[in-house]
Amino acid sequence: MADDFERMWRDLEPVGRASASGGYFRQPFTTSERELAAWFVEQAETRSLRIETDEIGNVVAWWDVGEGPGVLTGSHLDSVLDGGAFDGPLGVVSAFAALDLLRERGFVPARPLGVSVFVEEEGSRFGLACLGSRLAAGVVTWEQARELRDHAGVAFGDVAEGGGSRLLDEVGTFVELHVEQGRDLVDRGAAVGVASGIWPHGRYRFDFTGAANHAGTTRMEDRTDPMLTYAMTALAANKQARLAGQRATFGRLEVTPNGTNAIPSRVIAWLDARCSSDAALAALVEAITDQAAGRAGRDGTRVEVTAESVSGSVSFDAALAALVAADHAGGDWPVISTQAGHDAGILSAAGIPTAMLFVRNPTGVSHSPEEFASMPDCLAGVSALADTLERLAR
Ligand code: GLV
Ligand code: MN
Ligand code: MN
């Protein structure tokens, strides 16, 4: 099992890796991500699994054994811009390794077992997080998705074939294994944990507009500078989130014309906000929007706010989490919540009983080239996933 895992991990290591930062650029429907998709099919064929695809880019490799609704496990292969190696691929590689381990154990599932990859989980290209699983679950329509555009203006409908998805029709349960994106398991001294739920979160586009002018000749009191309104909004977001015990980040910016010696005419900034409840999220975004509008009034600029990707609070099936976490040789696995979004959250909200396993991340760093999990912890994750699949497909 260790050999299988390490071989697959080595296969993936160079794909989409930037030599400057050591981070990964695996945006959906780019060369590196398509290479990973081809690798997935190859791995499935080596194991004699039946491949099922949809017209969106999602894929499932089925071990056709047993009867009834299947147990699906997997994650995603795309990354954020300059991301880490583990967010996504750990769940896919672990799924194949867990399947190998079950076969080594001589376990014959009573239900079909599938390994899945959902496309554009990060929303790093088309802006809507978990796009593939939202489409597969039917919570976003192809008509809505096809119009989403990437940074260069390419539409999702131009790269994906499009249409419906029947991939989840035969799925009874979903399990996603993921690197932890925090330090909860480190604090608890556990290699593996189980998810209780996901904080609600969203992405909001703030369009600040003002008037372009000369950076040298325009008197300070004569400016309508949207960069100033943005800057004060970013500070306000940080303060409001800290006061409320929640999270707010401006991590992406587009400036027009983006010249050193020109006051900009327009700044577009994206807010990522995450809160412990849906009501707290609504209140935080409202507070930040109010402060942005107030500041725009004083600066003589304008601001418009558009919600681009919103995911409500997720509580995973508590009985399923308890079944997965309880009665292990080393004691029960901890059950913890997360502030990160996952396809598992979409499937759970769509009514599919869903569980998540987390693997310890010694620094907690994620969405960065520094993201990490040790090999012994990754292997503990594979064996935890195999144990979980045994419990679910017995
Ligand atoms: C995905 O990883 C997210 O939480 O944004
Ligand atoms: Mn991620
Ligand atoms: Mn992920």
- Show the tokens assigned to 130: 């978990």
- Show the tokens assigned to 35: 């290479």
- Show the tokens assigned to 127: 């802006």
Residue that has been written with the tokens 């935890």 in this structure = 384
Give the Å distance between the CA of 214 and the centre of ligand 3: 44
| Ligand located closest to 130 CA | 1
* pLDDT value for 17: 98
**Residue 344 in contact with ligand 1 by CB distance below 6 A:** no
Collect all residues with Cβ–Cβ distance below 8 Å to 20 and sequence separation of at least 6: none
| Ligand located closest to 368 CA | 2
Q: What whole-number distance in Å separates Cα of residue 346 and Cα of residue 230?
A: 32
* pLDDT value for 164: 86
Task: Report which protein residue has its CA nearest ligand 1's atom 5.
Answer: 341
pLDDT per residue rounded down to tens, the chain (394 residues): 778 999 999 999 999 999 999 999 999 999 999 999 999 999 999 999 999 999 999 999 999 999 999 999 999 999 999 999 999 999 999 999 999 999 999 999 999 999 999 999 999 999 999 999 999 999 999 999 999 999 999 999 999 998 889 999 999 999 999 999 999 999 999 999 999 999 999 999 999 999 999 999 999 999 999 999 999 999 999 999 999 999 999 999 999 999 999 999 999 999 999 999 999 999 999 999 999 999 999 999 999 999 999 999 999 999 999 999 999 999 999 999 999 999 999 999 999 999 999 999 999 999 999 999 999 999 999 999 999 999 999 9
**Residue 393 in contact with ligand 1 by CB distance below 6 A:** no
Task: Report which protein residue has its CA nearest ligand 1's atom 1.
Answer: 341
Give the Å distance between the CA of 178 and the centre of ligand 3: 7
Collect all residues with Cβ–Cβ distance below 8 Å to 66 and sequence separation of at least 6: 108, 109, 110, 111, 112, 393
**Residue 88 in contact with ligand 1 by CB distance below 6 A:** no
CA distances from 156 to 82, 125, 326 (A): 21, 9, 42
Tell me the pTM.
0.97
**Residue 340 in contact with ligand 1 by CB distance below 6 A:** yes
Coil vs helix vs strand at 114: strand
Residue 204 backbone phi and psi in degrees, to 5: -130, 130
| Ligand located closest to 127 CA | 1
Give the Å distance between the CA of 76 and the centre of ligand 2: 9
Q: What whole-number distance in Å separates Cα of residue 372 and Cα of residue 362?
A: 7
* pLDDT value for 163: 84
**Residue 237 in contact with ligand 1 by CB distance below 6 A:** no
| Ligand located closest to 91 CA | 3
Give the Å distance between the CA of 298 and the centre of ligand 2: 37
Nearest 5°: CA angle at 118, between 149 and 175? 145
* pLDDT value for 1: 75
**Residue 130 in contact with ligand 1 by CB distance below 6 A:** no
To test the pocket of ligand 1, the residue of 26, 90, 181 to mutate (highest count of ligand atoms within 8 Å of its CB) is: 181
